[in-house]
Structure 1
């Protein structure tokens, strides 16, 4: 019974699919009833209380309708019974709530200057909190593969944390995510990092000038790792020191 009413084109509407599900009717019958209303009176068609659209099911497109409060009222007039009445009342409540949110922008209208000032302050605080979260979430959402530590540094720097590849490597070593002791495993992920699934290791080989095959291991940050480190800096509002 969630989302009985949604906002579409700045208007509170429901869909024929939702109506069919709520009132336990076949969708094809709801479509039939709507089209009968459209055909029976030209004023219904011209009023645009029903908007034809499509929905996808198993790769195929099928017709559906969006309808505003007037369209729903006209359609539901023929639904009878105690259950139908209860569902109609729930729809009326849902329409009222959505239309109120559209009218007020989702906020209670302040009645005093003090309430208005408090509302403005709360909104600004929420914007400041949500802004970095949204930016970081968008950055990670586009990363479906492993990336280099240097690339992660660019994402972090581009979203307000002052860092670079060298400083991020140093921070990871200092905080136990990469091995800091000099040697063959230098800058490799620690066991803790591997257990957390933060890195994968890319191995590559080349023949040096002495004809010796050299194997190199490059740490790459997984999608889980990107989210993990970004959340670290987001929570602390960190500036990675030089």
Structure 2
């Protein structure tokens, strides 16, 4: 496949039946994990004109960018993208990308222990989908107490105190505190909101630890593995 041939995020959405906003989110997660500098040439922000003649944001992916995204999808979606890659072959004899994509289906099954692919079985995917839908409907940042209730709905019954204890034990919350560690904040897992509270002794600064949307998804993955 010619190196100059590309695919856009909205084209991926059309091929897989996914919502474009979810494909965009998948790509943004990859960029956050790897770094903008590392993938700038393979996952490039761009624009397209939709059916209503509106300019919308999307991403333009190189063949390497497509390979990064495809590892996140199910066998069915990967096959659709493989077939699309075949249709873009400028020279039939040059099948390097197609061959790599076909091999990835086999290789990725052997790399589940490294969290490279999502679980292929629909039954195992349901908890993740259900949780992701819950996150989309909730506010961006929530309290640990609220998060423990969401986890309970996903079959992880810890409660606020035990959840704090788990987070401290794993190094995400400071010991003997409810404040996140600097590392956890830099990872984008927590946000600390501050406000001035008036008391009989004067004004004091109150800090509240909240989980970001990224943190909510990150920790449920960790908790499901450890449970």
TM-score under structure 2 length normalisation: 0.46
TM-score under structure 1 length normalisation: 0.44
Q: Which has the larger radius of gyration?
A: 1
